[in-house]
Amino acid sequence: MIRINDILDQIHSYMPDADTSLVEKAYVYSAKVHAGQMRLSGEPYLSHPLAVAYILAQQKLDLSSITAGLLHDAVEDTLSTIEEIEEMFGQDVARIVDGVTKISQINFQSKIQKQAENIRKMILAMSKDIRVLLVKLADRLHNMRTLQYQKERKRIKIARETLDIYAPLASRLGIDWIKRELEDLAFSFLYPEEYQELKQEVEARLGARKAYVEEVKEIISKKMAEYSLSCRVLGRPKHLYSIFRKMRRQNVSLDEIYDLIAFRIILKTVTECYEALGIVHSLWKPVPGRFKDYISLPKANMYQSLHTTVIGPYGERMEIQIRTEEMDKVATEGIAAHWLYKEGKILKKDQQRQFEWLKRLMEWQKELEDPREFLESVRMDLFPDEVYVLTPNGEIKEFPMGATPIDFAYSIHTEVGHHCVGAKVNGKMVPLKYQLQNGDVVEIITSKHHKPSRDWLKIARTSRARARIRQWIKTEEREKSLALGKDLCLREFKKHRLDFSSFLKEDAEEVASSLSFKTVDDMLIAAGYGKISPSQIVRKYVKIKHVEDLEEAMEQQEVQAQSKTRKPQGEGIQIQGHDDIMIHLAKCCTPVPGDEVIGYITRGRGVTIHREDCPNVTSLEPDRKIEVTWTTDDGVNYPVMLNVVTADEKGMLAAVSNAISAAEANILEAKVYTSPDNSAHFTFVAEVRDSTHLKKVISGIKKVNGVMRVDRQTSV
Ligand code: MN
């Protein structure tokens, strides 16, 4: 049990000249009003305010906070009044006690609207003085430390509330040690079995890694000394709840969590921190994407540090934090670190930043009449990764940051999602990619005929919406591919004078299973996707039915086809909303990556890609045109046809061919015609990577002496 002298000693350790008479007076008063009361642990009640005051002194807080800590339960649990406290201990202390009392009366585990009202009360109480929250956190910490004496139902309720409200608040204030302790305590009460198991396993692993931790610390220290950097190196195990949360979130076992220990290098100056980072990265390979610079971009709670993850000496991931002594202080103690509250003193500007969120809350609380709106704004600030929006009926919906109206639509109903065409936010139309903001009132506009598109996957954030969209696309693509596959097979069968409908009736199943498809539909869908060719189906059919003359004919065709096929056609093309559809590049205009292109859904030959300026495009049925885009470079070469007109001189063919080769293009075909007007006409089919490459080829040809014109052929 903490004694008053422990508190006084602690105060004098950081305020040697402090006049502690007010604290001592509060001790006497608290002892008097709580006399005879007992804690569930069997200890005298006074042990609790003493413990709370000690936690506050540990944070090096001011005398008013510590005094209020001693008195924090007096008004709620005894006959004393706030007026009496103000009279005896002054306005400052009374205000804190009053705030803490008000927060204590709040029941957070209520329906959402009531909860809004409750949080509003809490914000109101603490907005008057941030020390209210510091005392409340100390109070909660000690209650959590002694929670085992409570009945189970209350235990669960308090632990849940701690995890939901108080640990995030501690985090928001940057008081890392309280946050960690609150989380681990809550974890142990909410998931006792998991907690015990994890604790034992982690301890066993850490025990085995003691030598390893020392070794890493040694390596770092030595290396820093080499560069004349003096530093402290710490190797601290991560707290259990953070490990547990990571295992849950990523669905991994403890064995798959490598960085149980976070190493920390603490130096003197910011420059040294970046220097140390360079040294660490030269020592061990950094894991890409894991470097974070919270020094130049501090977190909202003023946390500053460099974070990196490297591949350590045994090939394992190691998390390393690099910061100055001052930053380390802020990181562990938060608000209390650079804020020894002195009455009447104005906080330095950078320190004020910590309170900005609180100020904002205060302003909101004045402005927002609707408790729900208020709740959203508050919750947002406590849990910055979530966004809260409202339905037109005032129902609150919660989304991850970056969520869009699509997520909102699917959260209402799958059908609303599928038919969503737009959204109104706060009465105004917004694009579907609009990112929902806190407090937005969202109304979804649907149209019966509208369908999801693949692009929605890029803007949907919730797993629910993404799963529904994927499911829809899959079904849709299956249907389309089935129709396309049927069409393609029908043509192939016709070509060989075979009856497709009797094939479907009689032999399709056998052919499908011999091609290892479960069903006939699966086989036809595969043909539609271009995964197998219709001729493969015909061949199998012919083989099974022993139509011998056909078999021979087909084999010959196959040989011919193979010799003609060079590169997979249309690999670099993506059609919006479709995967794996058979694509052909039009022979008339030979498009290459970089060209503006358009797709045309042929009857039975998949999609043909034309250049947008191809004269043939105008004569195509508009309904069958679809948008297509080139995907990134896939290393495939594309044939392109070039007409070259030169003077009719000797050696022109060789000169132009050389120019094409010099531009690193392959010549597939070259034809020559002479014309009566003393010019020579060549047609080249060359392979290029993309339109830039093509330009290079053309300008290469143009430089050849005697070349008069070079045109890309746009039509046969
Ligand atoms: Mn208390």
CA–CA separation, 686 and 261 (whole Å) = 59
Task: Name the least confident of 319-333, 541-555, 624-638.
Answer: 541-555
For residue 331 the two structure tokens come to 């990181």
Q: Which of the two residues, 338 and 282, has the higher pLDDT score?
A: 282
Task: Name the least confident of 34-43, 210-219, 249-258, 518-527.
Answer: 249-258
CA–CA separation, 20 and 691 (whole Å) = 81
pLDDT at 207 over 60: yes
Average pLDDT over residues 565-584: 58
CA–CA separation, 108 and 140 (whole Å) = 14
pLDDT at 56 over 90: yes
List the catalytic residue out of 24, 43, 77, 164. 77
Spell out the residues 6+ positions from residue 559 whose beta carbon is closer than 8 angstroms to its own. none
List the catalytic residue out of 76, 87, 197, 325. 76
For residue 163 the two structure tokens come to 């995890």
**How many Cβ atoms sit within 10 Å of the Cβ of residue 203?**
12
Annotated catalytic, 77?
A: yes
Structural contact between residues 163 and 186, judged by C-beta atoms closer than 8 angstroms: yes
pLDDT at position 70: 95
b vs e for 76-94, b when ≥16 Cβ sit within 10 Å of the residue's Cβ?
ebbebeeeebbeebeebbb
User: E-strand spans in 251-305?
Assistant: 261-267, 285-286, 292-293
Task: Name the least confident of 32-41, 361-370, 594-603, 655-664.
Answer: 361-370
Average pLDDT over residues 538-547: 78
Q: Which of the two residues, 261 and 110, has the higher pLDDT score?
A: 261
For residue 149 the two structure tokens come to 């004496």
Task: Name the least confident of 1-10, 563-572, 622-631.
Answer: 563-572
Q: Which of the two residues, 134 and 145, has the higher pLDDT score?
A: 145
Structural contact between residues 340 and 60, judged by C-beta atoms closer than 8 angstroms: yes
* Ligand 1 mean position, distance from CA 48 (Å): 7
Average pLDDT over residues 390-397: 77
User: What one-character-per-residue DSSP string does 466-482 give?
Assistant: HHHHHHHHHHHHHHHHH
Spell out the residues 6+ positions from residue 69 whose beta carbon is closer than 8 angstroms to its own. 49, 52, 53, 55, 56, 135, 138, 139
* Ligand 1 mean position, distance from CA 196 (Å): 28
Of 20-29, 622-631, 684-693, which one has max mean pLDDT?
Answer: 20-29
* Ligand 1 mean position, distance from CA 245 (Å): 29
- CA–chain centroid gap for 394, Å, is 28
| Nearest in space to 654 (alpha carbons), one of 704, 610, 585, 591 | 704
Structural contact between residues 625 and 599, judged by C-beta atoms closer than 8 angstroms: yes
* Ligand 1 mean position, distance from CA 33 (Å): 14
Task: Name the least confident of 37-41, 147-151, 385-389, 585-589.
Answer: 385-389
Q: Which of the two residues, 266 and 174, has the higher pLDDT score?
A: 266
Q: Which of the two residues, 382 and 456, has the higher pLDDT score?
A: 456
pLDDT digits (tens, 9 = 90+) for 137-150: 999 999 999 999 98
pLDDT at 450 over 70: yes
CA angle at 138 for the pair 134 and 141, rounded to the nearest 5°: 135
pLDDT at 16 over 60: yes
pLDDT digits (tens, 9 = 90+) for 596-621: 888 887 766 677 888 888 878 777 77
Sign (positive or negative) of CA dihedral 608, 610, 616, 620: positive
pLDDT at 669 over 90: no
Structural contact between residues 484 and 581, judged by C-beta atoms closer than 8 angstroms: yes
| Nearest in space to 88 (alpha carbons), one of 21, 35, 6 | 21
CA–CA separation, 178 and 302 (whole Å) = 16
Confidence band of 324 (pLDDT split at 50, 70, 90) = very high
First to last CA, the chain: 96
| Nearest in space to 343 (alpha carbons), one of 128, 86, 92, 56 | 92
CA–CA separation, 473 and 476 (whole Å) = 5
pLDDT digits (tens, 9 = 90+) for 333-384: 766 655 444 433 434 444 444 455 555 555 544 544 454 544 544 554 555 5
Q: Which of the two residues, 478 and 120, has the higher pLDDT score?
A: 478
| Nearest in space to 361 (alpha carbons), one of 349, 373, 351, 350 | 373
Mean pLDDT in the chain? Answer: 81
* Ligand 1 mean position, distance from CA 383 (Å): 25
* Ligand 1 mean position, distance from CA 138 (Å): 9
Structural contact between residues 699 and 576, judged by C-beta atoms closer than 8 angstroms: no
* Ligand 1 mean position, distance from CA 193 (Å): 28
Annotated catalytic, 633?
A: no
pLDDT at position 106: 64
